[in-house]
Structure 1
């Protein structure tokens, strides 16, 4: 992405607030004009006051300078407020737009992009951008305007001295252009390295119990130190380039000023120009010097802003591979011409029957390993289907495809015999409730977690769902009941309590299709029995797919599907599979023996 396209994207977010920009520009031009007028005030003070020896003229000149200072202060207040407001508002809009796009991206995007990296872009990069737009960008504009105006006033005041100043401009701009490119490249690397630091720290903190249980605190500290040191080295290079740039600009600017003062002083001594004119000229020359110095400093900051903007635009322009038919017509016409998808269908009007037909699927991060191979299976409406098999058999992959988190490379996944690509993904998922083996809870209170997915549910409906999931009793014992905050990822609850909150959420959403990934696996025997009763009630009349690790929980299933290495190897009831499927028989034998072993101490007591 080149700099021009990056700035164009940034300007797109600024356009809605053009009135604020116009106001800021008017205030900027006003203050720049006052600043330039002060130079003439300085000339009057020197010529009419100091040199002429007139107290009254000195008083008038000083009052004029004070009035100019008051006007400049008012203009500066307006400019600073408007530009700072714009910096905050535009940054907030960019952050919101990036987040809105990120939450709609396909899951495979997050297989290759770490969450810590994405968070860094949403926080660190947007904070940097806010600083640039609200401060550095304003300083750059002010410097450009005042420096341009001061250069004009230099020529108006004295052409010969002005030529000395102008002769030094190319020498000053040259290092800015040369070092600016290097600063931009290093700024991007610096932001990436900071993101790596945040990502590493976030992962270690998220897995803190594992880190401490394996006593790897020292190892993680050393590894984090390597990441921090790497980020520091990149920042050190960037700082060195910026420091060199600033030093060269200052040297060249004040070298030109020194030459100008020598020539100007000679002209005053010989009577060619007045002391007031030299004073005004020095004032304008100092404005030019400070303006160029500010630009050289801000230029590095603007390069950092370009790097940060590039990283944000990459997220903003990332496209989801899972698209709805009505928004993906052009892409579908070009990429799926050999297998055209029919127009959008309404899943609410379809039978709750799902099917996979000759599906072949590879995860994007594992392109050489098939998760499903020539996989065909139908989940009949209102029936309970259980998927069993060893780890890695592809059971969870079936759920991923049914929810259309991914599309298969070959074959079809259908809803009521219609390809899932005919449906809006959000409308499709509104027909499905998922209870995962590791329930996902948010940093919120109990009622908000249960209500997730159905924000309009009343408190009475939430409590009824909690009672149906046998969660009401333990929720009432929490410090603030249903208003109790659960902490990050529900850290304040036990595994079984988290599971029952997730089940209550599924009950409240009341969807036609249930996907249960061993929903009772984290419960004790008593709770499991209660929740199983609740699930039995919930599953009635609904199409249910269960990933089962404990075979005792799926004896009532209408269909048990045995999977191995991404294929269906057997289907049937529990009794028939014991006879026809050696794999199922072996799984049952191992598991029921383990269950008997677990129950032996209880009988002896």
Structure 2
């Protein structure tokens, strides 16, 4: 899906304001870099006066002592310029690295607070591309390209002033040549920027494709889709290369045109200057100094033309990053602070109206009360609204109308951190992170001790297989827990929920991936865990509904029946059909 469907467009002024805001905390480093820049440029400009003095008073005047003094002065100027260049390069590179790091942290913080609905509309690979490659481009631009452009601009202005002091006529020739040299920049720079931005978008497409195909590599290989995936990837690579060719074409054309125009202008000025020397209007030293400044000015324009493409890429990358940062956090945090509830809270769902974006309404005037400490099982076909209720309770999405209360508090009024701190969830597809067993379980409670983690694992009947791993609780589990079976991953997730010790439990059939022996043990652990807590279970197993205080039968967002298993088997046709197909199969 194209990012334009969910991302807000930004303009260049916003980009510059944003970058300025990031530079503001480092004003002393910026000031130091500017001072070093002026000092280095001033030293190189002073070199021209040294050349003039050496020629007019040393060579022409036949004074070897003056030539020696001029050579020493030139050496000192070169040393000063080199030291200043070091300072400028170090500070600007430091600023590039620092700003890139700050932007990555700011962007990651923002992404962590965007709701799941945002990530359902944009590919993860594209977000990663913006997060990594775009910040790397920005780092290069701020650290090097921008520095070179500023240095060249200062040098050009200084050289122009000194040329005016040396020969107004030759300076007029230069001023007449400048607009001609700037025409390619005016015409071609927007094209460079456009294709630079498009090129980054194509690279993002590549990243998204790689992310998708490698994460689902088992499915790709199971269906022998390697050739198809490779063909699609090749097509995307060709598209990216095609766009890059146009970007390279316009940038190369820009550099080439500026070089030929600059060198032609310098040649013309040298010819005019030589005639002035023959006429006695200026000295040979003044002409040499003027040509030195002209070459500096021409080199500055050439440098600006060369880095302008990189600067345009940086602006394009900044726009893409700002688009992500401008994406609104659509779940607004509440203001009410809620302490950890001392006992299981009641949950009231009142006249709920809800529809996913661009989808028909799922819930229409839906109401449900779950008493404090009650164990409720939700059953129904796929799409009935079971998982959606979980997402609404956690405020991954907000209701369109109606309200949900937890312990008497409207969840919209509660701070998100406090709300979610009351709820532990185990999903059907258990999430395991690419870290150790210990850290995976400790995700439930960050300040838990190692002993607490082990106790939670034992209660989830996970300790035995964990100890059998090569490094026990310190074993690295690989991406998405690939080293574990489905049942083992689920027990890790259950241990995490046990460790979290929260008054509300949301269980999306937490035993669905377990064998019969493990299921029996985990059911015992869950029975202990659910005691004294308000629990909602999405049920796919008979054992789950038999232990529930109440079963809620859902069909297309409506409650069609509720009661105990035995009652519903007798009184409700829909439940009986579902039970025979799913629960009893």
Per the normalisation by structure 2, the TM-score is: 0.96
Which moves more between the two structures, 348-357 or 276-285?
Answer: 348-357
Instruction: Find the aligned partners of 1:496 and 1:102 in 2 and give their Cα distance.
Output: 31
Q: Could you say which residue in structure 2 is the equivalent of 1:455? A: 446
- Size of the aligned set, in residue pairs, is 575
Structure 1 residue ranges, 4+ long, deviating more than 4 angstroms after superposition: none
Which SS does the other structure have where 1:421 is aligned? coil
Question: Which runs of structure 2 are paired with 1:164-243 in the superposition (5 Å)?
Answer: 164-243=173-252
Which SS does the other structure have where 1:575 is aligned? helix
Instruction: Find the aligned partners of 2:444 and 2:113 in 1 and give their Cα distance.
Output: 16
Q: Could you say which residue in structure 1 is the equivalent of 2:106? A: 97
Which moves more between the two structures, 282-291 or 45-54?
Answer: 45-54
1:352 and 2:345 equivalent? yes
Deviation per CA, 1:50-91: give whole Å up to 9, x if none.
323333222221111111111111111111111111100011
Deviation per CA, 1:319-370: give whole Å up to 9, x if none.
21111234xxxxxxxxxxxxxxxxx252635961112222221111xx2322
Correspondent of 1:543 among 534, 539, 546: 534
Deviation per CA, 1:16-45: give whole Å up to 9, x if none.
000000011111111111010011111122
Q: Could you say which residue in structure 2 is the equivalent of 1:31? A: 40
Correspondent of 1:70 among 62, 79, 86: 79
- The CA deviation at 1:174 is 2.3
- The CA deviation at 1:387 is 0.3
Q: Is residue 469–residue 504 contact of structure 1 (8 Å, CA) maintained in 2?
A: yes
Q: Is residue 541–residue 584 contact of structure 2 (8 Å, CA) maintained in 1?
A: no
Q: Is residue 125–residue 308 contact of structure 1 (8 Å, CA) maintained in 2?
A: yes
Q: Could you say which residue in structure 1 is the equivalent of 2:433? A: 442
Q: Could you say which residue in structure 2 is the equivalent of 1:420? A: 411
Q: Could you say which residue in structure 1 is the equivalent of 2:387? A: 396
Q: Could you say which residue in structure 1 is the equivalent of 2:547? A: 556
Instruction: Find the aligned partners of 1:77 and 1:97 in 2 and give their Cα distance.
Output: 30
Deviation per CA, 1:276-302: give whole Å up to 9, x if none.
111111110001001111111222211
Instruction: Find the aligned partners of 2:368 and 2:376 in 1 and give their Cα distance.
Output: 10
Q: Could you say which residue in structure 2 is the equivalent of 1:144? A: 153
Question: Which runs of structure 2 are paired with 1:490-529 in the superposition (5 Å)?
Answer: 490-529=481-520
Instruction: Find the aligned partners of 1:104 and 1:590 in 2 and give their Cα distance.
Output: 40
Cα distance change on mapping 1:298 and 1:490 into 2, 3 Å? same
Q: Could you say which residue in structure 2 is the equivalent of 1:48? A: 57
Which SS does the other structure have where 1:422 is aligned? coil
Q: Is residue 347–residue 428 contact of structure 1 (8 Å, CA) maintained in 2?
A: no
Which SS does the other structure have where 1:554 is aligned? helix
Instruction: Find the aligned partners of 1:204 and 1:186 in 2 and give their Cα distance.
Output: 27
Which SS does the other structure have where 1:256 is aligned? helix
Which SS does the other structure have where 1:348 is aligned? coil
| Structure 2: runs of 5 or more not aligned | 1-9
Q: Could you say which residue in structure 2 is the equivalent of 1:337? A: none
1:12 and 2:21 equivalent? yes
Instruction: Find the aligned partners of 2:444 and 2:58 in 1 and give their Cα distance.
Output: 77
Per the normalisation by structure 1, the TM-score is: 0.93
- The CA deviation at 1:138 is 0.4
Q: Could you say which residue in structure 2 is the equivalent of 1:432? A: 423
Instruction: Find the aligned partners of 1:450 and 1:250 in 2 and give their Cα distance.
Output: 62
Q: Could you say which residue in structure 2 is the equivalent of 1:338? A: none
Which SS does the other structure have where 1:486 is aligned? coil
Instruction: Find the aligned partners of 2:214 and 2:62 in 1 and give their Cα distance.
Output: 74
Instruction: Find the aligned partners of 2:52 and 2:258 in 1 and give their Cα distance.
Output: 28
Correspondent of 1:57 among 66, 70, 92: 66
Which SS does the other structure have where 2:546 is aligned? coil
Q: Is residue 540–residue 582 contact of structure 2 (8 Å, CA) maintained in 1?
A: no
1:318 and 2:318 equivalent? no
Which SS does the other structure have where 1:434 is aligned? strand
Correspondent of 2:120 among 102, 111, 116: 111
Which SS does the other structure have where 2:116 is aligned? coil
| Structure 1: runs of 5 or more not aligned | 327-343, 595-605
Correspondent of 2:129 among 120, 126, 133: 120
Q: Could you say which residue in structure 2 is the equivalent of 1:273? A: 282
Q: Is residue 435–residue 502 contact of structure 1 (8 Å, CA) maintained in 2?
A: yes
Q: Is residue 432–residue 489 contact of structure 2 (8 Å, CA) maintained in 1?
A: yes
Q: Is residue 91–residue 129 contact of structure 1 (8 Å, CA) maintained in 2?
A: yes
Q: Is residue 347–residue 423 contact of structure 1 (8 Å, CA) maintained in 2?
A: no
Q: CA RMSD in A?
A: 1.4
